[in-house]
Amino acid sequence: NAGVTQTPKFRVLKTGQSMTLLCAQDMNHEYMYWYRQDPGMGLRLIHYSVGEGTTAKGEVPDGYNVSRLKKQNFLLGLESAAPSQTSVYFCASSRAGNRQSLQPQHFGDGTRLSIL
């Protein structure tokens, strides 16, 4: 039972390069999320998806794009990497819920990204 799998685990980029972070979940969850975690700032939501083919912006979406072509996968793209995007990126998923039946989020183990 893999849960949420993120690839790669580590990556070093040069400023201006592009890359895609991959997230896959095997729990048939409807909702998926991308966060970044920086020291002292907690997890901040970048983008999220409430279903296949739909995405929405979170708190800090600038410089990132996402796609959810398949229910189990959620991709995060950096179009032109900047040093400010050096961070640890976490993907999470959850079952669909509502205000009366709220669902916890399940996280992957993160991608550590350094932009030089």
Partner 1 sequence: SQKIEQNSEALNIQEGKTATLTCNYTNYSPAYLQWYRQDPGRGPVFLLLIRENEKEKRKERLKVTFDTTLKQSLFHITASQPADSATYLCALDERDSSYKLIFGSGTRLLVRP
Residues 8-47 that bind partner 1 (CB under 8 A): 31, 35, 40-45
Nearer to partner 1, 51 or 83 (CB): 51
Encoded tokens for 93: 């998923």
Encoded tokens for 53: 């083919």
Number of residues forming the site for partner 1 (CB under 8 A): 28
CB 54 within 8 A of CB 37: no
Nearest to 13 by CA among 76, 86, 63: 86
Least Cβ distance, residue 104 to partner 1 (angstroms)? 4
Nearer to partner 1, 16 or 51 (CB): 51
Encoded tokens for 87: 């961070």
Nearer to partner 1, 15 or 96 (CB): 96
- The rounded distance, in Å, linking the Cα atoms of 28 and 38 is 29
- The rounded distance, in Å, linking the Cα atoms of 99 and 106 is 18
Binding mask 40-69 for partner 1 (x = CB under 8 A): xxxxxx--x-x-------x-----------
Rg (CA), the chain: 14
Please give the residue ranges that form the binding site for partner 1 (CB under 8 A): 4, 31, 35, 40-45, 48, 50, 58, 90, 92, 94, 96-99, 102-110
